[in-house]
Amino acid sequence: MNVDFSDFIEVSGLLNYDPETISKIYRKNPKRLLKRLWQTLIPIFAYIFSVGWDKLTGKLKQERNARLRAKELTNLLVELGPAFVKAGQALSTRPDIIPVILLEELSELQDQLPGFDGNKAMELIEEDLNSKIDDIFFIY
């Protein structure tokens, strides 16, 4: 599991939110930006299209289909990453703008999330600190 994290914002030395610096980082790494846009926009547009189609054909009026689309959205947010999960969590608290079926599914994002891979976490820490975990923490 050797993933390249060399162009992460954090690895670039940015510790606080600075839009100008982030913009410079992405200008140096346009492939990363395009890849992330591709990874997020295509699934989002595919989901919106499928919901729109179900709405046009009347399938969304059936509770079973509406629940299926709501569950698909929840899974999509988890796949897209932490920022999207946070957006879903925020929406799950808005009964004034979100249908009940979708609220029920989005509420799963509050405490039913899959765990983060420990090996990946260790790899990120080692990459970020430029040292092996065993060299940083001494276990007696």
Question: Average pLDDT, stretch 100-119?
Answer: 82
Phi-psi region of 52 (alpha: psi -120 to 50; beta: other; left: phi over 0): alpha
Contacts of 18 (CB under 8 A, 6+ apart): none
User: What are 127's two structure tokens?
Assistant: 């990459």
Contacts of 126 (CB under 8 A, 6+ apart): 132, 133
Any idea where the domains of the chain sit in the sequence? Answer: 19-115
Q: What is the pLDDT of residue 138?
A: 64
Are 71 and 105 within 8 A, CB to CB? yes
Q: What is the pLDDT of residue 5?
A: 46
15-25 tens-digit pLDDT: 677 788 878 87
CA distance 21 to 23: 5
Residue, of 70 and 113, whose pLDDT is higher: 70
Q: What is the pLDDT of residue 41?
A: 94
Contacts of 2 (CB under 8 A, 6+ apart): 123
Residue, of 124 and 65, whose pLDDT is higher: 65
Band of residue 11 on the pLDDT scale cut at 50, 70, 90: low
Question: Average pLDDT, stretch 52-70?
Answer: 95
Residue, of 34 and 133, whose pLDDT is higher: 34
Of the chain, the percentage scoring pLDDT greater than 70 comes to: 83
Using CA atoms of 102, 108, 110, 112 in order, give the dihedral in degrees to the nearest 10: -160
Band of residue 1 on the pLDDT scale cut at 50, 70, 90: very low
CA distance 117 to 119: 6
Q: What is the pLDDT of residue 3?
A: 46
